[in-house]
Structure 1
Amino acid sequence: MSIQKPKGTQDLLPGVVEKWQYIEEKARDICARFNYKEIRSPIFEHTELFQRGVGETTDIVEKEMYTFQDKGDRSMSLRPEGTAGVVRAYVENKLYGEPDIAKLYYIGPMFRYEQPQAGRYRQFHQFGIEALGSTDPSLDAEVIAMGYLFYKELGLKGVRVEINSVGNPAVRAVYREKLQEFFAPVKDQLCKDCQSRYDRNPMRILDCKKDQHFGVGAPSILDYLDEECSVHFGKVQQHLTAMGIVYEINPRMVRGLDYYTHTAFEYKCAGIGAIDTISGGGRYNGLVAQIGGDDQPGVGFGLGLERVLLVLEAQGVEIPAGRPLDAYLIGMGEQAEAEVTKLLFQLRSSGLTAEKDYQSRKMKGQMKSADRMKARYVAILGDDELAKGVISLKNMANGEQEEVELGRLADVLKR
């Protein structure tokens, strides 16, 4: 029996991977325009980082992490999300000492042990940004706007923005008691996970898929915001309105991670069955201190690329399938084939995409190969052409053919 890929993973093959490259390039382009710089952190970290950063009461830490003991008997985990590792790198490399705020982005694989379903894999990929060093509400709005623009420029239709304020620790302490009072009469009817969350983090009950109905009529955190939180949330809304970004306030939104403070947000879009949340993020003002650094505010998001592709496909949005082949070279005869190898290298060195046959196929087979590769031109070199110092160049779009001097082939193709 042949070895197969692990459950919840996928092979990204030629023909598909070009779509990923297009999406990743769109992410990089938007980050450049907003002045975010790329950071690449390890795909595994000390388990304690995620316990501290993501939160021990989250499903991610409790159930979904790929954790192992290394040969030094240290507990390591494959990263289940990107923010904790970026913040650890920010602290360890003293990026907080720079005169400007740190505006960072990452693109890469994450790992969670969960049941694979539409848009969810055990190895999945995220594009995320983190802005560290400022409490300015306009930065929250900028981060939200970046994600919205990313989806819009990819061609996604019907993307909605939902926002909420999850307050600060003092606000949440009061809100926690109010939620416990609300859920107390039904505590024994809650699922096992939510019974545990009741004492440790009752806000997480609002995020439970099984116990949604028990949360109907629950108090809203917006009713308990202090002046600082209310002012911040109001200014985020003002900045979003100024940018023309339509949003809805969803007071039940908590997000699946414990580190959020103040602004939390999600992007919604139909196209993945009953699930309409495609990504989200928020502000995390206490996370840097939690991970061991001098307290610095931060805000960011993480967008799953698998989900982006699913919704694009569901909406029938065409993604460019990669760069076409500029030329396919055919050599007829031993000397001509040797010259083709030389020409091929010259074309590639001058920045053109070029290919030839490596299977000793006849002319007909090579022409079919050129067609499959969507070559713009086929250049045919036989002994007669070689003697004259020319090559026959065929335009595959209109069938027109001309002879071109060997030394001018690259210039003609570029033109």
Structure 2
Amino acid sequence: MIGRTLLIFLAVFWTYASLPAQAQAGQRLALIIGNSAYRTAPLPNPVNDAALMAETLAGLGFAVKLHTDLTRRDMRRAIVDFGQTLEEAPSGSVALIYYAGHGIRIDGENYLIPVDAEISDPLDVKIEGVQASTVLETLNRYEGLNIVVLDACRNNPFEGGTRSGGGGLARMDAPTGTLVAFSTAPGRVAEDGDGSNSPYTRALARSMQIPGLKVEDVFKRVRVEVLERTSNRQVPWESSSLIGDFYFNGQAAAAVPPAAQPVPVPPVPRQSIISGDIERAMADPLPGPSGLLFPDTLETVDKVPATQPTPVDGVWRLDITGGTRFRIEQGRLYTVDGYHLLPVTSVSPGKITGHSFKRDKAGSYIGYDVTISGPVYMTLQPDMTLKIVGDGAVIDFESYMTLVAADDPAAFEEELLSVRAAE
């Protein structure tokens, strides 16, 4: 983890340092801070989150200054130095400040906590912390488009080892030309996540890279994904006074004329040669009936090579599995959470259920489930469902998946229009 962070730091540092003054004109500037190594209540993910955000923004043309595990003095110095950089930035530049770490609300004011903070009393926060309002004051030095992202809303950090005190952060109103984004709503707490990144930062890094999305739509997609990943426990929130449009990746997609809404396709009756087994498996997925379920023996996501993304990449629900969600992503189909049945496989969260998933033609896809010998055919329907037909030696089946959120809405809409035009 430390080696990867160091490499990213050096890459973005030299990218920024090597830019001549005229090359920086009109470019994007970002300050990234991730604090994990607290003397009290250390956090596993903020340094990883900062590294992911720095890597993502550098790939989107930002000149990034990445700092991790800062003391109070160094944290204030980093903010002041960034402010001086903004003072020299010409009109048309974009400034972004991202912070991951402990955050505490005291007397209606938000404080970002350095790693050397020694806090035993609420008054210590005002002495040891850095006021979040200082960040906004720093951005006010530059009259341009500004974005502040705070993934810092944890509960009772110096008692229970989570990211913030006072029941979440206080509301902060965005000055003109600024968007302030919180990983969860004011007064609420967020999750650090079970993996190497918080649910919020992971969703944000993913959404920033989708071409043609306005910044407001990026954060809307983040909200949808975080709600899904946390079972509605965490609701990301923004305060915006932006003027004009901004795109992290590219410009606006070409306008697509509205299409006439077709009559919804009725669902296929749920028929299976082992329908009784399916019902029992859904009620109690482990152990599996008839020896047809494989709980923890499938390949994990990182062991299956990715291919080219398809227009239907995104989060889906399968009708025979209730609330369990799947993600189609770069040639892979895997669970987002919970157990699932497709229709004879039950696996743990994040395990691969299918691979070699490719687009055959507009609206037509083919893939292979790891436990079914034959191919799985998928066709996009006019009502935005994906019809699945399995042709295997063990079982033949039909079902539908319903779209929750497409990774690239413009590409999905174009694919859907092609399907409707072919009817």
Which structure would you say has the larger RCO, counting Cα contacts within 8 Å and 6 or more residues apart? 1
Structure with more of its chain in helix, by fraction: 1
* Shared fold per TM-score greater than 0.5: no
What is the TM-score with the length of structure 1 in the denominator? 0.28
